[in-house]
Amino acid sequence: MSATTPTPLTVSGMKASAAWGSKKARPIYIGFDGQGSVDLDMISLFPDHTWKHRANGLRPDLVQLLADMHPGFIRFPGGCIVEGRDLTNRYQWKNTVGPVERRKGIINRWNTEFAHRLTPDYFQSFGLGFFEYFQLAEDIGAEPLPILNCGMACQFNTSEVVAMPDIDAYVQDALDLIEFANGDPSTKWGGLRAAMGHPEPFHLKMMGVGNEQWGPQYIERYKVFQQAIKARYPGILLVNSTGPDPNGEKFDFLNDTLRRLHADILDEHYYRNPEWFLQNATRYDHYDRGGPMIFAGEYAAQSDKVVSVNNRNNWQCALAEAAFMTGLERNAGVVRMASYAPLFAHIDGWQWAPDLIWFDNIGSYGTPDYYVQKLFATNKGDATLALTRNGQPLAGQDGLYASAAIDTASHEIILKLVNTTAQAQSPTIRLAGIRKSNAPATALVLTAAEPGAVNSLDNPTAISPVAIKMLCRGKTITPTLGPYSFSVIRIKNQAIDL
């Protein structure tokens, strides 16, 4: 048997079990009778049960955990993976769309990055590509935020850059992606989207130019992207790199330069120890409200140190992130978006920790950090309120951190209170806007007996929200905040003065 044209091969009669797979799967052997030769280019086996039964779809339990957070956006395909160790091996979105069997795979950018876990056989088939990312965002009601290569490979590796006379191809990729996402089916790339089963646009509103690039070479290339994209699509917001660190020479140069260039959104990354997050809860209190918006694009507290194999998703890290996030919420006028990173990790196939959601071939679970993110995302409100002590934001006094918002649709005040100390505290909070006394309130509380506690596949909800009823008497509420606790309190009232 021989063939000169690649043809998809369907193996029928195979039934997926109720679970996704087995913890230790065995190989499947495909044999052919007769004489001849067979060239196999790509073999893919998918169960019928995927999220929304999408062909070539995603694991339903993983997407359900993500959907339960009600995220406002999804950043994809990630960070450094868009850069590649060199430009030849960079992520190119056009190679990830169209028929799956014709997508052009590459060696994964992380194959030999970490000496503690080398994976030289780590390839990407792009069964999960840009169409699937857009579709996933739409399925869970999130805005898509694609990140594209800006003509620079990872600066921690080769630091290869495309010559400026050759940058046009990279810019054209960005313009074509907007057409793929939003264009009419009569256009080239809008037509491909329609042919893949989605004639309606994906309503793309923003795009990232580069990931963690830095220095004058990034600015030089960003300017070309900015000019071309804004000329054709003035409504598209551009997300711009401020480098891999939240301070220092690289950050200061990009922060100052991009502000002078009237950038739309500045992407700040911080992987630091829990103490850094506590100390920086007021980071955005004095940012320029008339300048670019901020995207806290990648952050996670590190229990040991960055890139350490000993990092764990423990309660101390999650609690520090909750304290920091009260500062993000308090400054919603300047912080447009925020996202924990990385999102998923396989228990037997990871190189980086911590990660938000862990899984094996059968099950999955959310970490304590996941439940912090979920409580913030599902209790946002639509306007922030001032919550102060002695005229200052409550951000570290007596180890307490707090923010407040109002949900006008449900007539509720939402308080987020973090106690980072080993002692219970009962602060009295005066609610100046409430008219009616004895308003009912509900608290969702996250806590653990000790800071090193974690969740696991065997005990996935060891640290998860517990609901408590309480009452707001008069115009005050005095909640008891347990040691090492994060509480979200919703106070119901039919009449609230703003």
**How would DSSP label each residue in 179-206?**
HHHH--TTSHHHHHHHHTT--S-----E
Q: What pLDDT does residue 21 have?
A: 62
Greater pLDDT, 4 or 385: 385
How much is the CA Rg of the chain, to the nearest whole Å? 24
**Contact status, residue 471 vs residue 441, Cβ threshold 8 Å:** yes
Average pLDDT over residues 178-207: 98
pTM: 0.93
Q: What is the pLDDT of residue 44?
A: 74
Q: φ, ψ for residue 50 (rounded to 5)?
A: -120, 175
Q: What percent of the chain has pLDDT over 70?
A: 93
More confident residue, 16 or 160: 160
Mean pLDDT of the residues in the chain = 92
Give the integer Cα–Cα distance in Å for 57 and 194. Answer: 18
Give me the residue label for tokens 């109002």. Answer: 406
Q: CA 402 to CA 330: how far, in whole Å?
A: 9
> What is the structure's pLDDT at 48?
79
Decide if pLDDT at 2 tops 60. Answer: no
pLDDT, position 9: 45
Name the band, by pLDDT with cuts 50, 70 and 90, for residue 14.
very low
Please state the rounded mean pLDDT for residues 209-232. Answer: 98
pLDDT tens digits along 465-494: 999 999 888 888 999 999 999 999 999 875
Give pLDDT, residue 5.
46
Share of the chain above pLDDT 90, in %: 81
Q: Where are the domains of the chain?
A: 55-382, 385-492
| CA separation for the pair 485, 125 (Å, rounded) | 43
* Distance, CA of 185 to CA of 200 (rounded, Å): 8
Q: How far is CA 41 from CA 5, 32, 125, 272, in A?
A: 11, 16, 11, 43
Which of the residues 83, 113, 132, 212 is marked catalytic?
212
pLDDT of residue 468: 95
| Structure confidence at residue 43 (pLDDT) | 75
Residue 438 backbone zone (phi > 0: left; psi -120 to 50: alpha; other: beta): left
Tokens describing residue 118: 């080398």
What's the pLDDT at 162?
A: 98
**319-341 pLDDT per residue, tens:** 999 999 999 999 999 999 999 99
Range from 137-146, 224-233, 437-446 carrying the lowest mean pLDDT:
437-446
Region 405-410: mean pLDDT is 92
Given pLDDT bands bounded at 50, 70 and 90, which one contains residue 1? very low
Helix (H) or strand (E) holding 65: helix 60-68
pLDDT-based confidence at residue 4 (cuts at 50, 70, 90): very low
| Environment class of 49 (CB within 10 Å of its CB; exposed 0-12, middle 13-18, buried 19+) | middle
User: Distance from first CA to last CA of the chain, Å, rounded?
Assistant: 76
| Poorest-pLDDT segment among 84-93, 307-316, 389-398, 426-435 | 426-435
- Is the pLDDT at 193 greater than 90? The verdict is yes
Looking at mean pLDDT, say which of 52-61, 258-267, 380-389 comes out highest.
258-267
Confidence category of residue 434, pLDDT binned at 50, 70, 90? low
Q: Do 359 and 344 contact (CB within 8 A), yes or no?
A: yes
Output the CATH code of domain 385-492: 2.60.40.1180
> What CATH superfamily classification does 55-382 receive?
Glycosidases (3.20.20.80)
Q: How many angstroms separate the CA atoms of 323 and 277, rounded? A: 7
Q: Return the C-alpha torsion angle 22, 23, 24, 27, nearest 10.
A: 30
pLDDT(180) > 70: yes
Annotated catalytic, 212? yes
Tens digit of each residue's pLDDT (9 = 90 or more) over 346-404: 999 999 999 999 999 999 999 999 999 999 999 999 999 999 999 999 999 999 999 99
